[in-house]
Amino acid sequence: MQQVFAGPALPGSLANDPDREAGRPSMTCAAIVLAAGAGRRADPGETGAAKQFRNLAGRSVLARALDPFLDHPEIGPVQVVLRRGTQAAYARAVAPHPRLLAPIIGGERRQDSVRIALDSLVGAAPDLVLIHDAARPFASGALISRVVEALASHRAVVPGLAVGDTLKRIAASGHVAETVPRDGLYAVQTPQGFAYREILAAHRRAAATALTFTDDAAVAEWNGLSVALVDGEARNRKLTTPEDFQLAERLFRTETRIGSGFDVHRFGPGDHVMLCGVRIPHSYGLLGHSDADVGLHALTDALLGSIASGDIGSHFPPTDPQWRGADSADFLRRARDLTAEIGGRLVNVDVTLICEAPRVSPHREAMRARLADILELDVARVAVKGTTSERLGFTGRGEGIAAQAVVTVALPAMEADDEIE
Ligand code: MG
64 and 127 part of one domain: yes
Instruction: Report d(CA 218, CA 10) in Å as an integer.
Output: 27
Residue 289 Cα to ligand 1 midpoint, Å, equals: 8
Q: Which amino acid is at 3?
A: Q
Distance 395 CA to ligand 1 centre (A): 15
Q: Which domain holds residue 239?
A: 14-252
SS3 387: strand
Q: Are residues 223 and 277 in the same domain?
A: no
Ligand 1 centre to CA of 199 (Å) is 51
Q: What residues pack around ion ligand 1 (CB closer than 5 A)?
A: 263, 297
Query: What one-character DSSP code corresponds to residue 293?
Result: -
Q: Are residues 199 and 271 in the same domain?
A: no
- Cα separation, 194 vs 131, in Å, equals 8
Residue 216 lies in a domain: yes
Same domain, 180 and 50: yes
For residue 263, how far is its CA from the centre of ligand 1 (angstroms)?
5
- What are the DSSP E strand ranges found in 319-369? 345-354
Q: What is the pLDDT along the chain (421 residues), one digit of tens a residue?
A: 545 444 333 333 344 444 444 444 578 999 999 999 876 555 544 455 788 999 888 889 999 999 999 999 999 999 999 999 999 999 999 999 999 999 999 999 999 999 999 999 999 999 999 999 999 999 999 999 999 999 999 999 999 999 989 999 999 999 999 999 989 999 999 999 999 999 999 999 999 999 999 999 999 999 999 999 999 999 899 998 889 988 888 878 889 999 999 999 999 999 999 999 999 999 999 999 899 999 999 999 999 999 999 999 999 998 888 888 889 999 999 999 999 888 898 999 999 999 999 999 999 999 999 999 999 899 999 999 999 999 999 999 999 999 999 999 999 886 544 544 4
Number of C-beta neighbours around residue 331 at 10 A: 25
Backbone region of residue 81 per phi and psi (left: phi > 0; alpha: psi in -120 to 50; beta: other values): beta
> CA-CA distance, 42 to 48, in Å (whole number)?
10
Residue 115 and residue 235 in one domain: yes
Distance 20 CA to ligand 1 centre (A): 33
Domain limit, last residue, from 220, 252, 284: 252
- Calculate how far, in angstroms, residue 294's C-alpha sits from the geometric centre of ligand 1: 5
Q: Are residues 115 and 244 in the same domain?
A: yes
Pair 101, 217 in one domain:
yes
293 CA distance to ligand 1 middle (Å): 7
Is 418 inside a domain boundary? no
Within a domain: residue 404? yes
What is the Å distance from ligand 1's center to 71 Cα?
A: 33
Instruction: Tell me the CA–centroid distance for residue 332 and ligand 1, in Å.
Output: 12
What is the pTM assigned to this prediction? 0.64
Residue 124: CATH number of its domain? 3.90.550.10
What is residue 283's three-state secondary structure?
Answer: coil
Give, in degrees to the nearest 5, the angle at Cα 172 between 166 and 174. Answer: 55
Q: How far apart are the CA of 380 and the centre of ligand 1, in A?
A: 26
CATH code: domain of residue 281: 3.30.1330.50
Going from the Cα of 138 to the center of ligand 1, the distance in angstroms, rounded, reads 36
Query: How many angstroms separate the CA atoms of 100 and 420, rounded?
Result: 30
Domain end point (choices 216, 233, 252): 252
Residue 375's nearest CA partner among 404, 351, 402, 359 is 351
- Residues 325, 245, single domain; the answer is no
Choose one of 201, 224, 252: the last residue of a domain: 252
H/E segment holding residue 200: helix 196-207
CA of 390 to the centre of ligand 1 (A): 23
What sign does the CA torsion over 170, 172, 177, 180 have?
negative
CA distance 55 to 33: 18
Same domain, 236 and 337: no
Domain count along the chain: 2
